Structure formats: structure tokens, C-alpha cells
Amino acid sequence: MIVDFEYFAPKTVAEALSLLAQHKGEAKIIAGGQSMLVVMKRGLLTTENLVDIKGIDALDYIKYDEGKGLRIGPLTIHRAIEKSPIIQKHYRVLSEMEHNLATVQTRNWGTIGGNLCHGDPAGDPAPVLIALNAKLKIASSKGERIIETEDFSQDYLEVALEPDEMLIEIQVPTPPPHTGTASEKLMVMKGDMGIVGAAVSITLNPKDGVCKDARIALSNCGSTPLRAKKAEKKLIGKVLNDSLLIEAGEVASEETAPPADVHGSSEYRKEMVGVFVRRAAIKALEKAKAA
Amino acid sequence: MKGELKELKLTVNGKSYEFKVKPKTLLVELLRNELKLTGAKIGCLDSACGACTVNVDGKAVRSCSVLALQANGRKVTTIEGVADGDKLHPIQEAMVEYGAIECGFCTPGMVMSARALLGENPAPSREEIREAIQGNLCADEGYVKYIEAIEIAAKKMRGGN
């Protein structure tokens, strides 16, 4: 079971950062704990000091500005993102992703920032945020920095946070005009972890229908979320049709080497990458045409 | 000091409590061991079965996946706090009346998920009911009757027959 730890419940970001600086390298942050408590119960994670940030209300917000885009506080629960009218209107893919992220109970307590910082390559938010070209704002008691979501995951359950740093904001830019983004994942049951997943963003030139930009990110195909850059290149500069989307899926599949797991062999999961990239791309293209 | 007891104040089923708990105490452990509220079941203790579902500030949450200290200052409702004295809550009544209960182990969690749903959406669609109890596993295959009972309870709570 869980090994004892010293517990702190800071009420402000400054207080949390000072605790992290004080216990440098010997503290772990807990937000909703929906993933973290699972690994702690199994004894896979122990810590001297637990900094519980769930009560920092200032990090729970959703703000939107047409120019600046979307700003999400890392302690926003999944359910709030799913149900947010602003997000449903301007970033529907985020709401759709959250709807299938886990069961209602987990979505009611777990936070988007906690999910990102847990660094599980099977996590749903990271690939969608990568497809949306989102950035993460990170703070320590020494200052702040901004990092691409794509560069945040380092390895299985490891993210680019120094021991004295924490994630303080998720910044999603306003997508370029005529952009559509969609995500799909292979689930045994609705709300399950994705066996593999794909998020695809497509930007069209409205004059000639040519794909100006494409971003494809995959979940659970390796130790971090992956960008399928070769598959993106298949789409950029072309007028998209079904066979090109199928081809992009096949290329994405070739870019991955998912390990075998309890859900399927390596070959099966690799095959499914192609299927789910294609499915997400079809939806993204429809959305881009309608945008 | 590691494991040092911490103060916890919370409301459970309308009553205020103060405890000193080990930080690693899970909410379900506090409810069952300290308050002897054993309605929230420990099924998997692993965020999978939903038998420990309670309402925290009105939302369905798994009490096995929340530290007791994270409920500090919050309002917790367990299955024991759902009925009004001897009078069952309409959700409970409908489950009894329409045979939604088999062995009963998952029932408290089902009721708490349904209660949270009807609290925020008094007229859910069948699909919304299914989604609200997607995280509550029933080993007796009783899902259909649960869904029907929740639908009937919702109707009754809206003032219908």
C-alpha cells in the first residue's frame, strides 16, 4: 500500500513553488491524483513530501480571447473542459477528447494538468494539444518559461519539469482559419485508456482546397506521445481525398513501433495506428471544410 | 515528519467532523474505518469498479482514488446520507421497485452516480444515464434495470408519475 509521506496543501502558486524549492528533489506534486494514487498504491512511486495543489483555486480556469486563444488552468477538471460552452464552441476537439478520457468519476476529480504531468504516453490530452500546437507555461520560484507541448514528454512517465518547477498554464492558440481537428482512440469500453490513439489537425486553403498544414500526434505508440511527421508531409500541399488519408494512416503506422501489451500484439497496435489516423483525419478534414 | 497526522475538517452527510489522519489515508478508508459508513464498498481499490463512489460537493467521485485530506473543507455524501430518515430517495425506491438490485454490492455506487447525474441534469436521456454509470461495474449484468430505474426516478423527481 501507499508509503507514508509528509503532506502539504499550499493555497497559492507562490507557496507551492517555495515548498518545491525547499524540498528540491524530495517532493512530488499531486493534483487530482487519479493516475498518481494508482501508482502509489502499487508502491511504484514513493515520496518524502507530497505537495497537494488541488486546493489552489487560482489554477482552475478557462479563459478565451479571439486573438490570444484559449488559456486553461492546469487544475481544471476534465469534466469542466468537456462541458465548457467556450471550448465546445471554439475547440470542440478538446471537449470530445475529454468526454472519452475516462469514466465520469475520474473526469470529475482528475485535472488536465495532472494528466499532462503524469507523462503517460497513453494520456489523451497531450496528442490533441500537440495537434492544436499548444504551449505549456512552467514556473519555478526563479521565474517562468514556455515550452511546446510536443517537447514536454521525455520518456515513459517523465516530463520536462525540473524538481522545483510546476505547470501553471496550458495555452492553446487560435487555430488558423479553415482548420479542423479531431481525435480518435481504440477503446475496449467507452472511457477506457486508448490502446492506440490519434489526433489530427488539417488546415485548408479555401481558394483551391489544398492542405496548407497538417499536424498528426499519436498516443500510446511509444514512451511519449509521437508526432507522425512523415504522414503529415503526405498531406501538406495536396488536395485531400480518401486515398490520401488512407495512405497517411499507413505512413503513420510505419513511423511507429508500439510494444505488445495485454491488449494486443505489436503488429496489431501498429495496424490500428493506421486505422485511427485515417479515422481522425477524415473527421478533421470534414471539420476543416466546414470551418 | 513522514506520516505525521494532519487535521481534516469536512462535512459528511450533513454533519461536520474533525479528524487527525495519516496523509496517506484514502477517503474510503476514512468513511469506512473512522465513521463506520460501510455503504461505500471497496471492490477493486484501483479506480476501476466504482463501488466506492460517493458525492463530493455534489459530484460523483471514487472515494478509493481521493486522499481523505483532499476532501478538506468539502461536503461528502455517502449512500447512508441519501434517504430522508426511513423514506428512501426516489432513486433507491425505483431500484427496489423495479428490481435493479441483485447482490447489491455495486448498488451504493450506482445510486451515488445517479444522484450526481440527476443533481445536474433532471431530465437525462437514456444515453446520458448510460454514461453516468459507465464507471460502475455490475457483475450480475444488471445494467438495463439500473438504467430503467434511474429513468423512472428522474421522471418521479420531476413530478411525473
Question: Which CATH number fits the domain that encloses residue B16?
Answer: 3.10.20.30
Average pLDDT estimate for B71-84: 98
- Say which of A4, A30, A103 has its CB closest to residue B135: A103
Q: Output DSSP code: residue B52.
A: T
Q: How far is A117 from chain B (nearest CA, A)?
A: 18
What range does the domain containing B26 cover? 6-78
- Whether residue B40 lies inside any domain: the answer is yes
Per CB-CB distance under 8 Å, the chain A contacts of B72 are 9, 55
Q: How much of chain B, in percent, has pLDDT values that exceed 70?
A: 98
Per CB-CB distance under 8 Å, the chain A contacts of B116 are 104, 108
Question: Would the CB atoms of A33 and B131 count as touching at under 8 Å?
Answer: no
Residues 6+ apart with CB under 8 A from A24: A163, A164
Question: Would the CB atoms of A2 and B24 count as touching at under 8 Å?
Answer: yes
- Contact (Cβ atoms closer than 8 angstroms) between residue A276 and residue A186: yes
Residue for grid cell 481534516? B8
pLDDT band (50, 70, 90) for residue B102: confident
d(CA A78, CA A128): 14
* A138 burial via Cβ count (<10 Å: 0-12, 13-18, 19+): buried
Per CB-CB distance under 8 Å, the chain B contacts of A37 are 26, 47, 65-67
Regarding whether B58 and B32 lie in a shared domain, the answer is: yes
* CATH for B139: 1.10.150.120
Q: What is the pTM of this model?
A: 0.96
Regarding whether B101 and B51 lie in a shared domain, the answer is: no
- Whether residue B26 lies inside any domain: the answer is yes
Domain ranges of chain A: 6-52, 57-172, 179-290
Domain A57-172 top-level CATH class: alpha beta
Model confidence pLDDT, tens digit, residues A93-108: 999 999 999 999 999 9
- Contact (Cβ atoms closer than 8 angstroms) between residue A116 and residue A101: no
Residue B161 has pLDDT above 80, yes or no: no
- Whether residue B24 lies inside any domain: the answer is yes
pLDDT along chain A (291 residues), means of 10: 96 98 95 97 95 98 96 98 98 98 97 98 98 98 97 97 98 97 95 95 96 98 97 98 97 96 94 98 97 88
- Whether residue B33 lies inside any domain: the answer is yes
Per CB-CB distance under 8 Å, the chain A contacts of B60 are 104-105, 108
Question: Would the CB atoms of A9 and B69 count as touching at under 8 Å?
Answer: yes
Question: Would the CB atoms of A38 and B47 count as touching at under 8 Å?
Answer: yes
Q: How far is B64 from chain A (nearest CA, A)?
A: 9
Q: Does domain A179-290 have CATH number 3.30.390.50?
A: yes
pLDDT band (50, 70, 90) for residue B1: confident
Alpha-carbon Rg for chain A in angstroms? 19
Enumerate chain B positions whose Cβ falls within 8 A of a Cβ in A: 1-4, 6, 22-24, 26, 45-47, 50, 53, 56, 59-62, 65-67, 69-70, 72-73, 113, 116, 131-132, 134-135
Question: Would the CB atoms of A109 and B59 count as touching at under 8 Å?
Answer: yes
Q: What total number of domains does chain B contain?
A: 2
How far is the CA of A99 from the CAs of A117, A184, A187, B51, in angstroms?
A: 20, 12, 13, 21
Question: Would the CB atoms of A105 and B65 count as touching at under 8 Å?
Answer: yes
The domain at A6-52 falls in which architecture? 2-Layer Sandwich (3.30)
Model confidence pLDDT, tens digit, residues A197-236: 999 999 999 999 999 999 999 999 999 999 999 999 999 9
Model confidence pLDDT, tens digit, residues B133-160: 999 999 886 799 999 999 999 999 998 7
Please state the φ and ψ torsions of residue A254, each to the nearest 5 degrees.
-65, -20
